[in-house]
Amino acid sequence: MATIATMLSSSLAGQPFYSFSNPTSSFSFKTITVTRPRPRTRTRTSFTWLNPQPRGVLVEATPPSSPPSPSVLDGSIKVLALPENRADDIQAEARALARAANASVYSPELLASKYGSQPIKVVGRALQVLTAVGLFGLKLLVDQKSGVLDQNKRIRAIELRDTFTRLGPTFVKLGQGLSTRPDICPPEYLEELSELQDGLPTFPDEQAFECIERELGLSIDSIFSSISPRAVAAASLGQVYKGQLKYSGKVVAVKVQRPDIEEAIGLDFYLIRGLGFLINKYVNFITSDVVALVDEFARRVFQELNYVQEGQNARRFKKLYADKENIFVPDVFWDYTSVKVLTMEWVDGVKLSEQEAMERQGLKVLDLVNAGIQCSLRQLLEYGYFHADPHPGNLLATPEGKLAFLDFGMMSETPEEARYAIIGHVVHLVNRDYEAMARDYYDLDFLSRDVDVSPIVPALRNFFDDALNYTVSELNFKTLVDGLGNVLYQYPFNVPAYYALILRSLTVLEGLALYADPNFKVLAASYPYFAKRLLTDPNPYLRDALIELLFKDGKFRWNRLENLLTQGRKDRDFSAKEALQPVLKVLLSADGEDLRNLVIKEAARVSEAFTLSTMSETYRYIPHFVRTLVFNGNGNGPFMMSETELQNMIELRDQVLRIWGLLQSSHDFDPAILLPILQVLEQPEARKLGGRVVSGITQRLAARFLQQILRVPSTASE
């Protein structure tokens, strides 16, 4: 928001602009007037950090009669001229933001003040909700008394899903939110609630068209050359119409908010929050703070009611992720967008769940699912900004074979520390380091620091030891998530929303893929991204994770490196040049002495393997009588080592050669990628390391040849 105001005040000098207070952000703007040396006044925008405010301020500045040059402001401040269409877009967005200046935000205090004085309305809705929820709770109590609580979990989960659907939009949203919370709901409930649909009836079309005209201040005929007479889709918070803009001929989707939805949702959250206090006090098996969860979820739903905010979410998502050729995000038409009306580019396509329709268009489900997985991983682990409503209906396959994302009302962010901790967690899982895995839950905000993780370690070991007996390509992601969910449910975990939502997203994508290919595994599709990030990301946390993965018990695990390179090359963004840099920097850093010692030992071992395995293969071509003369009368072989030891050396040499071949075959391979290494080797620390490596190799080979020279010749009896 601040960026937009700054751009308007600097780059669009002389144009109308708006200063506003965004109720969903932690700052507000104030407008001041400054008199310059020239006889002219300008409106400048400054901002003061405040707590979120439920109201906004709108100020319009009057432009001067003759606008200044687009490159010079008042003869002193240089600005850059924006492309005309971009400038128009920014101004249109500013006008939309002005229309959203008074958008409501969630405030428990305001809801308590409002509905505390309306007891009849509160009691009426409370009776409706309590009757439905109470009947469900009574069934659970009877099941518990009868000892069949576990046996009836599936039945009760289905009944809860139906109950939420009958209670309306708030509870539909609540059920979808609970479907991402393994720390609150058992697996059976998670599965049923994840199927909860926004199957609500449409509201009258006349009310929708009246809302459009009221919100935009224009008649329907002046905006659209045509618009569908009935809604083409309906959800819990609004419904969608298909129209064609009059001024440009663009085909658009127009989402219109349900009448009085804010009132209904506000009342429901007021009641649910009160129920949360009772659950916190009397229900012991739920360890999370239910009131805090309700508040967080309510904030997200109220943000979803602000369609201008949704438009901004879509624009940010498009900027971050639509750079890939297989991802599509529709544009927003700001002049026809307000708090209750959102106009976006119409997307022709079919839902990923409609496999037969996709096949008729010649589209492959697995290609689009893979695109969705890669985009989800980038959302979670690269930029941290991600789609928080992962639902099959929000993903469309376009006729061009692109994956289109829709509905950006609910978005979330992954903290930067957590992005790296997740990758480190995967490394600990691969290494079966369950103690480190348990400690990771501190960094992931699953557990508070005062919780003892030692009882959790056996539970992780029991589950993952069985799960990891499968290869990456065999391991089912949903089984892994369900098993981990059982562990989380049994201990005092508080799963952050970002983590739960992205797990659900990947589970949904895997479920869609399984219809097309029963052998598809989302983990196998995800692994190239993890491998690429480990090999190329210079972040210190990930460099340490890579070293932890490659070195164990003082030995370098070449098979792990080969596997990482094999998988990493499958990612289209993998760069061989980048893969050589992070570990090299650690190797030559001030605190890299331990790693340097390991590298010296490994370099000597590899050099020995290359030398002796090559000599051994050459030896085979030497005539037998020459062998007995040259090699101390021994015709059986030149080295004092077992056949197994020699075979291990040959395998090591071949593995190193395969790794070099993988680097050479990378699409961006160029001998010039070695230049940074040569430059680094000019550093004093690198020269010392090189000398130590050469010394280690020389000593090892000298010891091996001295052993050969001094050995006792073999006798016939031997």
Residue with tokens 């008729």: 360
Do the Cβ atoms of 170 and 269 come closer than 8 Å? yes
**Pairing mode, strands 403-405 and 327-328:** parallel
Is the sign of the CA dihedral 106, 107, 108, 113 positive or negative? negative
Mean pLDDT calculated for residue range 236-262:
93
Pairwise CA distance, residues 137 & 140, whole Å: 5
Q: How many CA atoms lie within 13 A of 593 on its CB side?
A: 2
Say which range, 50-59, 460-469, 643-652, has the weakest mean pLDDT.
50-59
Name, of 219-228, 461-470, 601-610, the range with top average pLDDT. 219-228
Look at residue 523 and tell me whether its pLDDT is greater than 70. Answer: yes
Mean pLDDT calculated for residue range 384-406:
85
Q: What's the confidence (pLDDT) of residue 69?
A: 35
Look at residue 101 and tell me whether its pLDDT is greater than 50. Answer: yes
pLDDT in tens, 331-345: 999 999 999 999 999
Do the Cβ atoms of 67 and 61 come closer than 8 Å? no
Pairwise CA distance, residues 358 & 360, whole Å: 5
Options 389, 407, 440, 571, the catalytic residue = 389
Q: What's the confidence (pLDDT) of residue 405?
A: 93
Pairwise CA distance, residues 240 & 238, whole Å: 7
Do the Cβ atoms of 478 and 507 come closer than 8 Å? yes
Pairwise CA distance, residues 517 & 525, whole Å: 13
Pairwise CA distance, residues 183 & 461, whole Å: 19
Pairwise CA distance, residues 327 & 321, whole Å: 7
Name, of 85-94, 168-177, 317-326, the range with top average pLDDT. 317-326
Q: What are phi and psi of 557, to 5 degrees?
A: -95, 90
Name, of 213-222, 513-522, 685-694, the range with top average pLDDT. 213-222
Mean pLDDT calculated for residue range 366-378:
87
Q: What's the confidence (pLDDT) of residue 582?
A: 67
User: Measured between alpha carbons, how far apart are the two ends of the chain, in Å?
Assistant: 85
Do the Cβ atoms of 529 and 571 come closer than 8 Å? yes
pLDDT in tens, 153-182: 999 999 998 898 888 888 888 787 777 666
Say which range, 142-151, 288-297, 458-467, 502-511, has the weakest mean pLDDT.
502-511
Greater model confidence, 570 or 162: 162
Active site annotation includes 183 = no
Q: What are phi and psi of 521, to 5 degrees?
A: -130, 125
Percentage of the chain exceeding pLDDT 90 = 20
Mean pLDDT calculated for residue range 595-604:
70
Q: What's the confidence (pLDDT) of residue 81?
A: 44
Q: What's the confidence (pLDDT) of residue 628?
A: 57
CATH 1.10.510.10 in the chain, residue ranges: 205-257+306-412
Pairwise CA distance, residues 684 & 690, whole Å: 10
Look at residue 441 and tell me whether its pLDDT is greater than 70. Answer: yes
Q: What's the confidence (pLDDT) of residue 32?
A: 36
Read off the pLDDT band of 454 (50, 70, 90): confident
Q: Vertex 527, ends 441 and 663: CA angle to 5°?
A: 125
Read off the pLDDT band of 266 (50, 70, 90): very high
Reported in sequence order, the residue ranges of 403-502 that DSSP labels E, i.e. its strands, are 403-405, 411-413
Pairwise CA distance, residues 36 & 13, whole Å: 15
Read off the pLDDT band of 583 (50, 70, 90): low
Residues paired with 81 in a beta bridge: none
Q: What's the confidence (pLDDT) of residue 53?
A: 35
Helical spans, DSSP H, in 179-260: 187-193, 205-216, 220-223
Q: Pick the closest to residue 710 from 635, 632, 633 (CA basis).
A: 632
Greater model confidence, 351 or 85: 351
Pairwise CA distance, residues 187 & 184, whole Å: 10
Q: Tell me what the pLDDT averaged over the chain comes to.
A: 74
Q: Pick the closest to residue 430 from 480, 464, 382 (CA basis).
A: 464
Say which range, 3-7, 356-360, 410-414, has the weakest mean pLDDT.
3-7
Q: Vertex 224, ends 222 and 228: CA angle to 5°?
A: 135
Pairwise CA distance, residues 449 & 451, whole Å: 6
Do the Cβ atoms of 457 and 432 come closer than 8 Å? no
Greater model confidence, 673 or 565: 565
What is residue 181's DSSP assignment? -
Q: What's the confidence (pLDDT) of residue 332?
A: 96
For 640-655, letters b (16+ CB in 10 Å) and e give ebeeeebeebbebbeb
Name, of 370-384, 575-589, 627-641, the range with top average pLDDT. 370-384
Pairwise CA distance, residues 606 & 489, whole Å: 48
- Indicate the burial class of 323 (C-beta count within 10 angstroms; 0-12, 13-18, 19 or more): exposed
Greater model confidence, 244 or 378: 244
Pairwise CA distance, residues 610 & 618, whole Å: 12
Name, of 315-319, 363-367, 569-573, 666-670, the range with top average pLDDT. 315-319
pLDDT in tens, 533-561: 888 888 887 878 888 888 777 777 787 88
Pairwise CA distance, residues 435 & 460, whole Å: 9
Look at residue 63 and tell me whether its pLDDT is greater than 50. Answer: no
Q: Pick the closest to residue 170 from 208, 128, 139 (CA basis).
A: 128
Q: Pick the closest to residue 225 from 250, 206, 207 (CA basis).
A: 250
pTM confidence score: 0.69
Count the neighbouring beta carbons within 10 Å of the beta carbon of residue 188. Answer: 17
Greater model confidence, 39 or 287: 287
User: What would the two tokens of residue 286 be?
Assistant: 């739920």
Q: How many CA atoms lie within 13 A of 375 on its CB side?
A: 29
DSSP 35-55: E-SSS-EEEEEEEEE----S-
Q: Vertex 450, ends 444 and 451: CA angle to 5°?
A: 70
How far, CA to CA in Å, does 203 sit from each of 206, 233, 239, 307? 9, 11, 8, 18
Q: Pick the closest to residue 547 from 610, 589, 576 (CA basis).
A: 589
Q: Pick the closest to residue 101 from 5, 44, 211, 24 (CA basis).
A: 24
Mean pLDDT calculated for residue range 74-92:
59
Q: What's the confidence (pLDDT) of residue 73?
A: 37
User: What would the two tokens of residue 493 be?
Assistant: 């975990």
Mean pLDDT calculated for residue range 654-662:
77
Q: Pick the closest to residue 565 from 596, 536, 541, 538 (CA basis).
A: 536
Contacts 24+ apart (CB under 8 A), 645-648: 646/612, 646/613, 646/616
Say which range, 230-239, 411-420, 474-483, 705-714, has the weakest mean pLDDT.
705-714
Pairwise CA distance, residues 195 & 704, whole Å: 67
Q: What's the confidence (pLDDT) of residue 656?
A: 79
Q: How many CA atoms lie within 13 A of 319 on its CB side?
A: 9
Q: What's the confidence (pLDDT) of residue 694?
A: 64
Q: What's the confidence (pLDDT) of residue 62?
A: 34
The answer regarding whether domain 205-257+306-412 maps to CATH 1.10.510.10 reads: yes
Look at residue 84 and tell me whether its pLDDT is greater than 60. Answer: no
Mapping DSSP onto H, E and C, the string for 125-151 reads HHHHHHHHHHHHHHHHHHHHHHCCCCC
Greater model confidence, 74 or 223: 223
Pairwise CA distance, residues 134 & 337, whole Å: 41
Read off the pLDDT band of 502 (50, 70, 90): confident
Read off the pLDDT band of 346 (50, 70, 90): very high
Q: What's the confidence (pLDDT) of residue 305?
A: 92
Do the Cβ atoms of 562 and 661 come closer than 8 Å? no
Q: Reduced to 3 DSSP states, what percent helix, strand and coil does the chain have, rounded to the nearest 5?
A: 55, 10, 35
User: What would the two tokens of residue 133 be?
Assistant: 């929820």
Greater model confidence, 686 or 479: 479
